[in-house]
Amino acid sequence: MNETIRFVLDGKVVSVDKIDPTRTVLQYLREDLNRLGTKEGCAEGDCGACTVVVAELDESRTHLRYRAINSCIQFLPTLDRKALITVESLASKDGQLHPVQQAMVDFHGSQCGFCTPGIVMSLFAMYEKQEHATRNEINQVLAGNLCRCTGYRPIVDAAEKMFQLDRQKTSSPINKLETITVLQNMEEHQTLHISDGRKHYYSPSTASEFARLVEQYEDAHILAGGTDVGLWVTKQYRDLNSLIYIGNVRELSQIKIGSTHIEIGAAVTINDALPTLIRFYPNVEELFLRFASPPIRNAGTLAGNVANGSPIGDSMPVLLVIGTTVVLRKGETTREIPLEDYYLDYMKTTAQAGEFIECVRIALPKENQIVRTYKLSKRFDQDISAVCGAYSVELAAGQAEHVRVAYGGMAAIPKRASSCEAALEGRVWNAEHVQNAAAALDEDYHPLSDMRATAHYRSLSCKNLLQRFFLESSGFQNESNVYSYGR
């Protein structure tokens, strides 16, 4: 096994070994390297003050792809075989600012400055990926960066203008060709094992080796994007003794489109899955653009959301109504189960010791199928659902068939509404039957009151969302907030 983390920082290969594998990238930057530009605001992926950019080889292994991530919840060993770019990396050696920095100065995008390094890094990742951006796209990129001072307008102005500064005169903070060569030379088939003598971290590169490790170390936690697991350490101060990282298993990072379903590998991030999901189910776009923030979606996986099984997880209601199965693997053996059978009770699933999700399989849409999903939360962006509703119906000559309704935030698990579905199945798709089905939701759910919503709010809003689905499926057009809020 390889026992050293290697990553590129400012053109140099950094090697680290024998560290606590749950040390975060942010702790390492600030406490070990004394690079204090990257800030800590919340230590839970919410505020964006800690945003850094990771560059890694893309699928072709000949180009770099850039991802903004939250360094406060990312464990250091996950940087292995990547390049790290922080706010200190951006200005050239002679002091010339990068266009994103220059534009922030020119347009007064910074006041107290606490959020600024994170904002600059989110915009830098955007600058590397595209040639220009609309205000709406800029707003979406900044959805995970909180600024309490500026009101955002000068920041969005700066972001628009950074694209107009001369790219030819801009020296890139990393020498791309050199970095690609260094990363190619780091390609490795051995498992990375990092340990401080007490805690262990394994990062295999093949699915068989991953399966073997998960079976061998039954008590170990699987680490995917770490957007749930990271908080166990930074907020709950849990000691995680063994982690097995899925992020470097290339076979599990694939999306396959078959004749009946889409297969999303367990290591595919939400942002990488999004274009395929939207291609087949355009109406899920708003939900997934409101799922956390770009840096969280750049790290967090769809399989991690499903595996975590939170009752307020956003992807499960829609996956339940579309028709999804989970492929579970133990060693070399796999079994496939419907997603509704995966959840047993609050945060309890049917997965056995030594078993993991290899992929999720999502049914392709039918010709006359209408699918919608709606998220209700106190804040529009970067907030957890109070209620998340998802609906699917196939309409044949005005009659409802294969009706599926599911909610998050209404029960201890993400759950289909069987009484509501039964009240609609095979009936004429009209207001009267939808009203009866809405009433039946009281048999399906007995929600709790908590800090996000009262039980009364939840019971009422799940019915209203069903009505909204009926109206939209009957031709009533509701303007999407995602498209309108950036105008």
Ligand X SMILES: Cc1cc2nc3c(=O)[nH]c(=O)nc-3n(C[C@H](O)[C@H](O)[C@H](O)COP(=O)(O)OP(=O)(O)OC[C@H]3O[C@@H](n4cnc5c(N)ncnc54)[C@H](O)[C@@H]3O)c2cc1C
Reference 58, options 7, 129, 118; nearest CA is 129
39, 58 Cβ separation under 8 angstroms = no
Residue closer to ligand X by CB (options 110, 140) is 140
Rounded Cα–Cα distance for residues 162 and 150 (Å):
18
- The one of ligand X, ligand FES, none whose footprint includes residue 48, by CB under 5 to 8 A per kind, is ligand FES
Please state the separation of Cα 411 from the chain's center in Å. Answer: 23
3-state secondary structure of 431: helix
b vs e for 42-80, b when ≥16 Cβ sit within 10 Å of the residue's Cβ? bbebbbbbbbbbbbbbeeeeeebbbbbbbbbbbbbbbbb
292, 144 Cβ separation under 8 angstroms = yes
Judged by CB under 6 A, the chain residues 10 through 69 that form the site for ligand FES are 40-43, 45-50
Q: In what helix (H) or strand (E) does residue 103 lie, and over which residues does it extend?
A: helix 99-106
Judged by CB under 6 A, the chain residues 93 through 132 that form the site for ligand FES are 110-116
210 contributes a contact to ligand X by CB under 6 A: no
Q: If binding means CB under 6 A, how many residues of this protein chain bind ligand FES?
A: 23
Q: Which pair of tokens denotes residue 43?
A: 């230590």
Q: Of 16, 149, 231, 460, which lies in the binding site for ligand FES, with binding defined by CB under 6 A? A: 149
300 contributes a contact to ligand X by CB under 6 A: yes
Task: Calculate the alpha carbon distances from 272 to 178, 245, 255, 357, 475 in Å.
Answer: 26, 18, 9, 18, 31
Strand arrangement of the beta sheet that strand 333-338 belongs to: 255-257, 261-265, 356-363, 324-330, 333-338
335 contributes a contact to ligand X by CB under 6 A: no
418 contributes a contact to ligand X by CB under 6 A: no
Interacting span for ligand X (CB under 6 A) from 19-27, 54-62, 76-84, 292-300:
292-300
Task: Calculate the alpha carbon distances from 410 to 372, 386, 441, 448 in Å.
Answer: 18, 9, 10, 7
Judged by CB under 6 A, the chain residues 230 through 289 that form the site for ligand X are 231, 246, 266
303 contributes a contact to ligand X by CB under 6 A: yes
Residue closer to ligand FES by CB (options 111, 419) is 111
Contact pattern from residue 34 through residue 53 relative to ligand X, giving x for each residue in contact according to CB under 6 A and a dash for the rest: ----------xxx-------
Smallest separation (angstroms) from ligand X to the CB of 389: 14
Rounded Cα–Cα distance for residues 153 and 151 (Å):
6
> How far does the chain reach from its first CA to its final CA, in angstroms?
53
Residues in CB range of 25: below 8 A, 6 or more apart:
52, 71, 72, 74, 75, 76, 78, 79, 84
229 contributes a contact to ligand FES by CB under 6 A: no
383 contributes a contact to ligand FES by CB under 6 A: no
Residue closer to ligand FES by CB (options 110, 191) is 110
228 contributes a contact to ligand X by CB under 6 A: yes
Q: Of 357, 370, 420, 462, which lies in the binding site for ligand X, with binding defined by CB under 6 A? A: 357
384 contributes a contact to ligand X by CB under 6 A: yes
Q: Of 150, 248, 269, 382, which lies in the binding site for ligand FES, with binding defined by CB under 6 A? A: 150
Binding site for ligand FES (CB under 6 A): 40-43, 45-50, 70, 72, 110-116, 147-150
Binding site for ligand X (CB under 6 A): 44-46, 221-229, 231, 246, 266, 291-292, 296, 299-301, 303-305, 307-308, 313-314, 356-357, 384
